[in-house]
Structure 1
Amino acid sequence: MTRQDRFYEQLPKHGAFSALARPEVFVPLPQHWVVCCTDIVASTDLIAAGEYKTVNMVGASVIAAMMNTLGDTAFPYSFGGDGASFAVAPEHAGTARETLARLRDWVRDEFGITLRAAQMPIERIRAEGLNVTVARYAVSEDADYAMFSGGGLAWAEQQMKAGAYSIGAAETEEPPDLTGLSCRWSNTPARNGLIMSLVVLPVAGTGPHQFSQIASELLELTAQLDRSGHPVPVSGPALKFPPPGLMIEARLSRGYIPLSLRALWLTAGSAIARFLFGRGKPTGSFDPDHYLSVLSANSDFRKFDDGLKMTVDCSPAVRDRVLDLLERTQQAGQIRFGLHEQDAAMVTCIVPSAMRDDHVHFVDGASGGYTQAAADLQRRTQS
């Protein structure tokens, strides 16, 4: 492993999310690193058709494919609901490009979904006066998530949507390796009144310390909620049989296996899992209660991603105070924001092994979440 390759692995891990509001904890990507971003074309139409679970799974498949491709190499990534972004050392640029090209072809053929994918060098972003800086947030002893700042990732996504830096055709037709990707949990209903998905971005001219103060105030408001609004209870989400997302998982992960056989295999595995979790007692070395508590602890319901994004289980009273702060700071020309309310949250998972505690879980609203919040942001900006 090269020195550049170990950049992210060697970053200090911050255990308090509030510490990530401080600009000084973020470190610039090394020279010659590349930034990759993806998103689903017309994702709002898919959401309107009730396909948000598919949207989330395809978005998370980007991260799963890269995890499996890079093996033990840690790299910074961020899940955005209808897509994902990440950065890799220059020696992995070709691997990332080919992995995304193969995934894009697979998603098109299996679902008829167009997945945009772009790659650009960090130097191109810095030429615009922007940057990509990274911090590492440890949600538990065994799992952490990258936080991004500097405005560069948002600019890269805009360039991608405009058709720039698009990744070319795949060199092979080999299916992507999506081992570990799953979506078998049921949606988790709001316990405090509503699930609020929120996207808050600084506007040009808002300094990092000024935005840090606004983010800190938002976190103080949500800190009034139980577990700061964590939408996944400590006992974990419910697991029904058959799982609602089983066929989505089967289509994404089947590789060269016929869909019917992959679905049968996942159905059998889900039946066993339903029995083990329903039993509620350790079986051999597997403890279902421990697994569920780790699932909850490892869920990424808050993130800094060139702004602040949250999906929280919120009370109407706290929602109103959050909205008041957001509207005041938007009118002052400091931020842009979008918000979407729904009655449940959903979890999409990457589980390399159920016997380890390093599984990661991406939280979003169950009826549009971040994608709808981003659309609301655009409407508010244009009005």
Structure 2
Amino acid sequence: MTAADQDFYASVPISDDFLRLSDPAEFTALPNDWVVGVADIVDSTGEMARGRYKTVNMVGAAVISGAINALGGKEFPYVFGGDGAAFAVSQADVGSARDTLARLRSWAETEFAMPLRAALVPMADIRKAGRDLRVARYAPSAGVDYAMFSGGGLAWAEAQMKAGHNMVAPADTDAQPDLTGLSCRWSNSRARHGQIVSLVIQPTSEANEGDFGQLSRSVLAASEALDRAGHPVPANGPPMGWPPPGIDIDAHVARAGRNLFLQKLRLLAENLFIGSLFWTGLRMGEFEPGHYKRMVSRNADFRKFDDGLKMTLDCDAKTLARITEILEKAQEQGLIRYGLHAQSEAMMTCFVPSAMRDDHVHFVDGASGGYAQAAARMRGFHGFDGTNQG
């Protein structure tokens, strides 16, 4: 492995124009000796049917926060998928990635009785199977950027994982991943213009990249008519209440083997203090609550290219009808499969290395199943009447 391969991701250009990333030429191929990590929750649809939406999102986001902490701040591409996540690392970081995934599998089972599967798939295997994986970087603000993926490699790697290949075995039951900075203290953001629509669009094998790029531009152009392009989180930040929703989940995440009840009490006190700063707007040293909340909204990943296009939109009925019309036509032509799920609120799961900087990341999903429900509703080419929106 060359130094250039190891530092590959840091050299990928960063764009602040999301529409531009519908052009396949904006993506750069991953080095052949890199490895793709994939993880998702077994039977996430069943878990959500039991009302465990926030827990599903938290475990999915834990894959990313655990990998970021394990790699010590090194830049690498990752993407949040609602009920799981994916990332790619160089050969130098495969050991850390494997250890982290093993710990996460044990932790998810121990803390939440939620089975997590995980795999590490070599890029060479992906290309041998006739797929590829290319990345781009999108910056919604000056503080943070997110990886975008294309080429079909992620979907293939996930299918391999679900078939039982390249699996990472769970660690011992008392193993703990480092999840410092992971939390879910914000309240849900209610739809202000209609419904929160979670949308998953995937190209078929019949579509070339140009076809899918053109389709993506049409969908994005329609969403641009929405307020702030459909951003589901208010510009001044999401609401915050006390006690915060998901305090039990946060306690499980942060306790690291400590007493759960005492950890919950500590978090309640901590969140009451933090909430008082947001409610009053009082500064504490360099921390300015108003600025932080605005950056939370700006940094949110409400749309992404993830071997397809995923969006969580605050969407009015007219725009939703327009988007659905575009998608139905493309599906009839055999170019895509798609699924959508409508709900009244959006939720957010956060990774905050430091509240004093603007590089905190915020993963957005629909609050009643979001991307996972949309993917479960992914339809074939026959029998869809346009009403199955949840």
Normalising to structure 1: TM-score of the pair?
Answer: 0.97
Cα drift, residue 2 of structure 1: 3.8
Shift of 1:205: 2.2
2:10 alignment partner, SS class: coil
User: Which consecutive segments of 4 or more residues in structure 1 shift more than 6 A?
Assistant: 379-383
Q: How many residues align?
A: 383
2:388 equivalent in structure 1:
none
State the match for 1:30 in structure 2. Answer: 31
Task: Specify the SS of the correspondent of 2:138.
Answer: strand
Instruction: Let me know the Cα RMSD of the aligned residues.
Output: 1.4
In structure 2, how many angstroms separate the alpha carbons of the residues matched to 1:129 and 1:382? 31
Aligned runs of 1:5-20 on 2, under 5 Å? Answer: 5-20=6-21
- For 1:31 and 1:90, the matched residues in 2 are separated by 10
Amino acid at match of 2:6: D
Moved more, 165-174 or 364-373: 165-174
What residue in structure 2 maps to residue 249 of structure 1? 250
Q: Structure 1: which amino acid aligns with 2:215? A: I
Contact 1:5 1:73 in 2 (8 A): no
What does residue range 111-190 of structure 1 map to in structure 2 within 5 Å? 111-170=112-171, 173-190=174-191
Q: What is the CA–CA distance in structure 1 between the aligned matches of 2:152 and 2:143, rounded to whole Å? A: 29
* Structure 1 counterpart of 2:279, one-letter code: G
| Counterparts of residues 189-338 of structure 1 (less than 5 Å) | 189-338=190-339
For 2:246 and 2:382, how far apart are their aligned partners in 1? 35
Structure 1: distance between partners of 2:249 and 2:282? 29
Match of 2:107 in 1: 106
Contact 1:338 1:373 in 2 (8 A): yes
Give CA deviations for 1:279-303 in whole Å, capped at 9, x if unaligned: 0232322111100110000000000
Q: Spell out the pairing of 1:48-67 with structure 2 (5 A cutoff).
A: 48-67=49-68
SS at match of 1:20: helix
Letter in 2 for 1:347: M
Deviations 1:204-234 (A, max 9, x none): 0211011100000000000000110000111
**Measured at CA, do residues 379 and 340 of structure 1 come closer, stay the same or move farther in structure 2, by a change above 3 Å?**
farther
Amino acid at match of 2:212: F
Distance, in Å, in 2 between the alignment partners of 1:381 and 1:81 is: 27
The answer to whether the 8 A contact 1:222-1:228 is kept is: yes
Q: Secondary structure at the match of 2:234?
A: coil
Change (3 A) 1:378 1:38: farther
TM-score, normalising length: structure 2: 0.96
Mark the CA change 1:381 to 1:58 in structure 2 (over 3 Å): closer, same or farther.
farther
1:119 partner SS:
strand
TM-superposed deviation, 1:246? 1.2
Q: Structure 1, unaligned stretches of length 5 or more?
A: none
For residues 177 and 132 of structure 1, do their structure 2 counterparts lie closer, same or farther at Cα, with a shift above 3 Å needed?
same
User: CA 1:236–1:206 in 2, change beyond 3 Å: closer, same or farther?
Assistant: same
Deviation at 1:35, TM superposition (A): 0.4
| Contact 1:198–1:311, Cα closer than 8 Å, also in 2 | yes
Partner Cα separation in structure 1 for residue 364 and residue 383 of structure 2: 28
Paired letter, 1:62: V
Aligned partners of 1:158 and 1:90: how far apart in 2?
22
C-alpha distance in 2 between matches for 1:27 and 1:357: 26
Which AA in structure 1 matches 2:338?
A: F
Q: CA, structure 1 residues 31+217, in 2 after alignment: closer, same or farther (shift >3 Å)?
A: same
Stretch moving more, 232-241 or 250-259: 250-259
Secondary structure (helix, strand or coil) at the match of 2:33 reads coil
Deviations 1:317-366 (A, max 9, x none): 00001111101110011111001000110010000111111000000000
Q: In terms of mean alpha carbon deviation, does 191-200 or 169-178 score higher?
A: 169-178
Question: Is 1:40 aligned to 2:41, yes or no?
Answer: yes
Determine what percentage of the aligned residue pairs are the same residue. 52
Q: Which runs of 5+ in 2 are unaligned?
A: 385-390
